[in-house]
Amino acid sequence: MLKATAYLFLKHSTHRAIPTRYLTAAAELQQDERLQSFRTQEADPSKHSKDHLAQFYTIPLSDRNVLFQHGGLPKTFQQHIKTFNETCLMVREPAVDIINCLKSIDYDKPAVRFVLYGKNGTGKSISLAHVLHYAFKNKFLIVHVPWVGDFMRHCKDSSNSETREGFIDLNINAAAWLLHFRTQNAELLKNPDLKISRDIQWTKRESTAKDSSILELIEHGINRMRFASDCVNILAEEIKLLSNAGICKTLVAIDGFNEFFYPTTKVYTEKKEIVHPNKITLTEGFLNLTKFDWKNAAVIVTVDEMTVKVHEEGTDPSMSHFPRFLLGKHGFEHLDPFLPVNVPLFSKKEHESIMDYFRERRWVRPYPGQDEELYFLSGGNPFTLLDYCKSL
């Protein structure tokens, strides 16, 4: 009901010019001052601090094309990137807290795990993207899964594993992920010290020799797709060895991590039986990377209610968004101990900041009481606000 009311109100108010007589000179001056303060010129995420909270910074096009060329930003956000012709992220406290931790933790100790959690639409994926940009600027080897649901619910194909009985390969998805990994780490993969530690025999005629480059292993998985799933698992093992040896520093970032532990997938056997995630070859590699038995690494994952809601129609609306509920017993035990980081609803300052951004980009027209009205209707939820302000 509220959404319908907001839709009609915006239709007749937000997207039409408001006569200037409704805006006093003082209000216009205040608006101009705010439009100058919602952005920060500090584009380096390494330098973001509490002083930059609720301000927008712009990711350079060159960085975006490397980091997010093959995914990592929500579809709604991607639409805004095209509309506004720039990639702007709001500096929020969860991302700043994690970045500060990444600056100060001892990388000679076991990998620290962070879990981003929060209600649907609060911006977990955007906070993860902010941290990824920090990792990219600071030469981390990035292992990024944009959305686990793409493996479990939108698999391109499936086949029985040739190397592990009872397991299912998702080779097209695995090859696509290897391409994503190669793109994000293109510069680092030129390092000649990034070598594999053993001989790998694929078939009687195909093999990858010990001390071959990691890039050669990746290329093999992309070009010989039948081996792509196994390549991902081997790559995970080699990354851990390289990090332990101090040759690279790794950031693992997985969005929708709890999907790995949810029993219902859209992957089926030849007998049309549902395959549990722990019987999907890809799962092993990414779960291996989220353990704490290695160093020179940090792990950041998000847990999302959407995983449960997609699989179960009519889910209890009181369902919890906390990690213990979403991860389940096995998922929680796998990550424990970890640092939980809550991604909250917008504060009033953050809400005003994003509305100033919309007004500056001429996406909405100002009217008296606009911020208060939309903050009340959206409940401070970023996704709901975007939905109310979308094109009519």
Selection from 259, 378, 267 nearest residue 309 by Cα: 259
Residue 292's Cβ-side half-sphere holds a number of Cα atoms within 13 Å equal to 13
Report the pLDDT averaged over residues 255-272.
Answer: 86
d(CA 296, CA 240): 9
User: Rounded to an integer, what distance in angstroms lies between the CA atom of residue 173 and that of residue 6?
Assistant: 40
> Confidence class of residue 48 from pLDDT cuts 50, 70 and 90?
very high
User: Model's pTM, two decimal places?
Assistant: 0.88
Q: What is the mean pLDDT of the chain?
A: 88
Q: What pLDDT does residue 17 have?
A: 41
Each residue of 134-185: pLDDT tens digit? 999 999 999 999 999 889 888 888 889 988 888 999 999 999 999 999 999 9
Cα–Cα distance, 253 to 312 (Å, whole number): 26
Helices within 15-107 (DSSP H only): 25-37, 61-67, 75-84, 93-104
Helix (H, G, I), strand (E, B) or coil at 39: strand
Mean pLDDT of 283-292: 96
User: Which has the closest alpha carbon to 98: 71, 73, 64, 135?
Assistant: 135
- Domain limits, the chain: 50-344
pLDDT tens, position by position, 340-359: 999 999 999 999 999 999 99
How many Å apart are CA 275 and CA 152, to the nearest integer? Answer: 9
Burial of 224 per CB tally in 10 Å (0-12, 13-18, 19+): middle
At position 225, the amino acid (one-letter code) is: M
What count of other Cβ atoms lies within 10 Å of the Cβ of residue 1? 5
User: Could you tell me the sign of the dihedral formed by the alpha carbons of 115, 121, 122, 124, in that order?
Assistant: positive
